[in-house]
Copies of this chain bind each other. A is one copy, B any other.
Amino acid sequence: MNARHPVDAVRDSLAAPALYEQVAERLRTRIYAHELAPGAWIDEQGLADEFGISRTPLREALKVLAAEGLVVLKPRRGCYVAALAERDLDEIFPILALLEGRVAEEATRRLAGLEAGVGRLASADFSRLEEIHADLERHAAAHDIDRFFATNQQFHSALQELAGNRWLSQLIDDTRKFLKLTRRDSLRLDGRLKQSLAEHRAILAAMKKQDAAAAALHMHNHILSGRAALAKLLVQP
């Protein structure tokens, strides 16, 4: 029962994640929800008591979050939730635009079957993307911003899968994490929903025409457009 069965892979995925990982996840949730606000000090003992665990796994979790950049560890002075400045947003969004643009480009190329090595994608994969977009249109019509937000994430994730570049996806996810630190949400801005949809349509149209460069450009602009909307939110929240 201990030889290398294929079942092992399953068991690994089913195995309960280590405590420090669960704790890290709970902390991430709290940070994103601003229950632990940016800049706030993190009380190790307090949280450990609250979670009903010892400080050891909690500290390991904090090390992980620190490596991710969600918290900063000041030697001998404790742990603080990271805080983003406006300048950080100005630096992050263009990078995200670059990366997501690249995703759109690679996804389109794979759809067109131009990519060397990796196989050509079935048109069913693209249909899936169109379905998600259809959902988006529905949520927008219903002014259901929360569902729109969730589905929007799905859209970008699905596109990342189409691109099939794990490293690229990783970088994007890493980068997006920081944006979650600012809980401002450009989607609530008047007209932003409609604008966002139009941008998505442009991306999809370019992909359908198998114009990778255009898809990249539209995605690039889409992300920057999100930044611009966020900036408006700053002066009038």
A169 CB to closest chain B CB (Å) equals: 10
Bound form: Cα–Cα A116–B29 in Å:
35
Q: Is A47 located at the chain interface by the 8 A CB criterion?
A: no
Is B74 within 8 A of A12, CB to CB?
yes
Is B91 within 8 A of A2, CB to CB?
no
One of A13-21, A148-156, A186-194 at the interface = A13-21
Residues of B within 8 A of A98 (CB): 98-99, 102
One of A65-73, A201-209, A224-232 at the interface = A65-73
A22 CB to closest chain B CB (Å) equals: 11
Interface size on A, residues (CB 8 A): 44
Residues of B within 8 A of A88 (CB): 2-3, 167
Identical chains in the assembly: 2
Is A12 within 8 A of B75, CB to CB?
yes
Which residue on chain B has the smallest CB distance to residue A3?
B85
A161 CB to closest chain B CB (Å) equals: 14
Residues of B within 8 A of A76 (CB): 15, 18
Residues of B within 8 A of A40 (CB): none
Is A95 within 8 A of B167, CB to CB?
yes
A24 CB to closest chain B CB (Å) equals: 9
A63 CB to closest chain B CB (Å) equals: 5
Which residue on chain B has the smallest CB distance to residue A61?
B63
Residues of B within 8 A of A125 (CB): none
Q: Report A55-86 CB contacts with B as 1/0, cut-off 8 Å.
A: 01001100110111100111110000011110
Bound form: Cα–Cα A17–B75 in Å:
7
- 3 closest A-B pairs by beta carbon, nearest first, are A67-B67, A3-B85, A91-B167
